[in-house]
Structure 1
């Protein structure tokens, strides 16, 4: 296209644009005489200035308190009332990990101890003994001992420690009751391995103690001890504390250990031996023993459940019949140290000798076997074996678990009463 033609075309377009603009101005006249392009610009009306409002503190505070109360009602009080009174709690109401809630209630400790002492005191007795001892320089001479006991039956059966009656080797045993009555007693049974003994007094009105369940006691609960700590001059002294530990094992000598003891911080001294350890209900849960030399603040008691089968048999039959296996044995570690040999088992009772015609011999037990269990109870020592046998009576059959040449075996043993000449 030529230059002249291009120029004519451009002039024509400009003319058409001016005509269109004039038409718009005729239809929409501008008051301010502005250009027509400004007619297509929409201007927002100017907003009036906002009035500054003051905050109503009273209304705001009321609203905030109402919101808090509403939140508490909806999230705690209302659900607790509904689920606790009208509906049962859903299983997952408190979440997956439900923690035990322990309510601790304060109580008057002084009144508790006083009430327990008042209940148990009539059942606690003082025990004195006379023993004849041989002396190289002065010949035979008498020595006296003192201890405590607890009445366990209205017929005069009294439970105490074996060492209180010198393990049965005494000339005389004397008992002083709560009302001041003084009577001679006879020893019916004692076992140094348990440090328990039963003595009896006839012709005296006595008050038996309530026996508790030592399997149910817990560390931290109240413990009250009654005894004669420094002889009859301080008879029936009451000391208190808590249960400090359970299932304690104390080595008495190289070959003797007392196991499954109750530990308490109630003061227990020589003379307290044989006296009761009581719970908050005034029930006997243990028999105190001062045979164990311990540090200050440490006392020990034999669980009453260990003595219960013995006491029950005395109450039922008037006598106690001990069963036996018929073996001589030692702890595995003692045997290994003495012989410098290594056994297959770390714990148990090594059988050194079998008595002829004994229950062990009849069951096929042989020297060299290691006893590791009776029924479902593990046996780790000779003292533990002796204590376990006290739970059975003549005629009872037990499953004796042994290790023979590194192989475990089960033997059926029918227990028998200990022969008089055994």
Structure 2
């Protein structure tokens, strides 16, 4: 006989399995709903946070706060003390006019006609910068570059206040690329002073002031440092080697003739040139050069006094010993192996001071006025630091033997 209660436990187990399954499914469905709701909420928040709000703040409310920067810093004080003495220099030249009749086949000329002539009209040929350094009576003097005024038929100066005045050329010096102008002092209120360029050092702050790209940008100031105290370059229009100050203060066309000043407002150099590309055409930035103030003052004093620079001469042509091969130093110059610096005489002018002192071709000058000769520019600098009529000692090698002599300097 079958017991009616035998199937009860089995049915009960199946019931709880179904309950558990339903619960698990409900939990999964509920979790999925929760996850979906959470994602929707995050998406909504993202949309709301990036949506451009409607309306506008008609009341404004933005204001300018008090300037916390120091408006009277060291550089500003230096600039303000000098900028009134910085001018723009205008080089005016005669306009060339063709005398021929320009027709379909170009100009035609008669037997006695000239291809071009001046019509007397002056136009601006170039612009540069300058600095007023001296005021004496009703005259004021400006130093600038020789290449700024070269070829001029007339010169004008634009003062720092914008007033334009005529200028007279006092004199030039191609070797150092310097020139001096004279103007009426009635409008001059500021005169710049020179500092000792021998006392500068690499890394010190400097300012360059001038008219880059012309008088439209007059009294532009740029800041940099002294990159190097002595660099030997061909500074003059005649290719003369000279020592210059290298700076990374921005110098552009039109800055020529303007001052390079220290943070005390003293002129330590006259900006003269910059390197813009190397031999391969690569662009170069931050390499400007200025004529040292000690050289500037020596030259401009002579220009004002004599109208030109009168320099002592030895009467020789020379080159740097570094340009001579080791083999030629032994075979031609007969130099001891320990002599590796100096200037080699390549020619001696007959009747010159050098010839009278016993110097000959292929002699090697190693000292002048007690100073060791390290390069071409140094020999020139030592020589030009002396005056006509002075005697200067020279140590040199001739035929392998060291000698000393004294030379009387002549113009």
Match of 2:198 in 1: 215
Residue in structure 1 matched with residue 145 of structure 2 by the alignment = 161
1:360 matched to which residue of 2? 354
- String of CA shifts for 1:311-354, please: whole Å, max 9, x gaps: 344567776432222223333445669x9986435443332332
- Pick from 268, 284, 297: which aligns with 2:286? 297
Equivalenced residues, count: 305
2:166 is the counterpart of 1:183: yes
Q: Deviations over 1:300-320 (max 9, x none)?
A: 222212222223445677764
With a CA cutoff of 8 Å and minimum separation of 6, indicate the structure with the bigger relative contact order. Answer: 2
Match of 1:349 in 2: 343
Q: Pairwise mapping of residues 202-281 of structure 1 onto structure 2 (< 5 A)? A: 202-205=183-186, 206=188, 207-250=190-233, 258=241, 260-281=243-264
Q: Which has the higher strand share?
A: 2
Which of 130, 153, 175 pairs up with 1:149? 130
1:311 aligns with 2:307: no
Query: For the Cα contact (< 8 Å) 1:148–1:271, is it kept in 2?
Result: yes
Once the two structures are superposed, the pairs formed by residues 43-62 of structure 1 within 5 Å of their partners are none
Q: Partner of 2:91 in structure 1? A: 129
Q: Deviations over 1:132-181 (max 9, x none)?
A: 899xx986898822221122221433222233234xx5444433333423
Kept after mapping to 2: 8 A contact 1:398/1:412: yes
- After superposition, residues 66-105 of structure 1 pair within 5 angstroms as none
Q: CA deviation at 1:187?
A: 4.6
Instruction: Say whether 1:174 aligns with 2:156.
Output: yes
For 1:109-120, list aligned pairs within 5 A: 111-120=73-82
Matched residue of 2:310: which SS? coil
Q: CA deviation at 1:399?
A: 0.6
- For residues 214 and 393 of structure 2, the distance between their equivalents in structure 1, rounded to whole angstroms, comes to 46
Contact 1:252/1:292, CA 8 A, preserved across alignment: no
- Asked if the contact 1:126–1:176 (Cα under 8 Å) also holds between the matched residues in 2, the reply is yes
Q: Distance in 2 between matches of 1:309 and 1:216?
A: 16
Alignment partner of 1:290: what SS?
strand
Cα RMSD between the aligned structures?
Answer: 3.6
Q: Where does 1:334-345 land on structure 2 (aligned, <5 Å)?
A: 334=323, 343=333, 344=335
Q: State whether residues 247 and 259 of structure 1, in contact with CA within 8 Å, keep that contact through their aligned partners in structure 2.
A: no
Unaligned runs of 5+ in 1: 1-106
Aligned to 1:330: 319
In the aligned structure 2, how far is the partner of 1:291 from the partner of 1:311? 22
Secondary structure in 2 matching 1:119: helix
Choose 1 or 2 for highest CA Rg. 1
Instruction: Quote the offset at 1:258 in angstroms.
Output: 4.9
Q: What is the rounded CA distance, in whole Å, between the counterparts of 1:395 and 1:122 in structure 2?
A: 40
TM-score (norm 2): 0.64
Aligned with residue 385 of structure 2, among 368, 388, 391:
391
Quick check: 358-367 or 141-150, which moved more?
141-150
Distance across 1 between alignment mates of 2:244 and 2:71: 25
Do the aligned residues in 1 keep the contact of 2:269 with 2:296 (CA within 8 Å)?
no
Measure how far apart 1:402 and its partner are: 1.9
Instruction: Please give the secondary structure, in 2, of the residue aligned with 1:164.
Output: helix
